[in-house]
Amino acid sequence: MPGPAVLSVSAPILADADRRWCQRVTVTFRNTGGSAATSGTVGFATHIIGLLGTDWGTVPSSQPLPAPIAAGTARTQTYTVCVDSWRVPIGMRVDTREVTATWR
């Protein structure tokens, strides 16, 4: 009987989106376990960065995992991660620093 799915998440690759309160976040999910990851959630920790580089806070969000991810394979997915527009006044930016995954 194969073992459970075991996912690792790469460091995020970030790109500007078309709105200052959004960011395109690309990550690779690698399944080194013995079974497919059939469902799950990807969590993002997006920091609000001020004009002088001050971190004003972190906004969590989540989106679906790009499942299934078969055993012994990897899948790369690009997400558009946004926070409320009022959180990012002109001159400020977003920076998604942490990406996590939970799966079944």
Domain ranges of the chain: 7-103
Architecture of domain 7-103: Sandwich (2.60)
Omega of the bond leading into 68 within 30 degrees of 0 (cis): yes
Per-residue confidence (pLDDT) for residue 100, from 0 to 100: 98
Token digits of residue 28: 């690779």
Residue with tokens 């620093």: 97
Per-residue confidence (pLDDT) for residue 97, from 0 to 100: 95
The model scores a pTM over 0.75: yes
Single-letter amino acid, residue 33: G
Per-residue confidence (pLDDT) for residue 2, from 0 to 100: 84
Ordered mean pLDDT values, 10 residues apiece, the chain (104 residues): 92 96 98 97 98 95 97 98 96 96 95
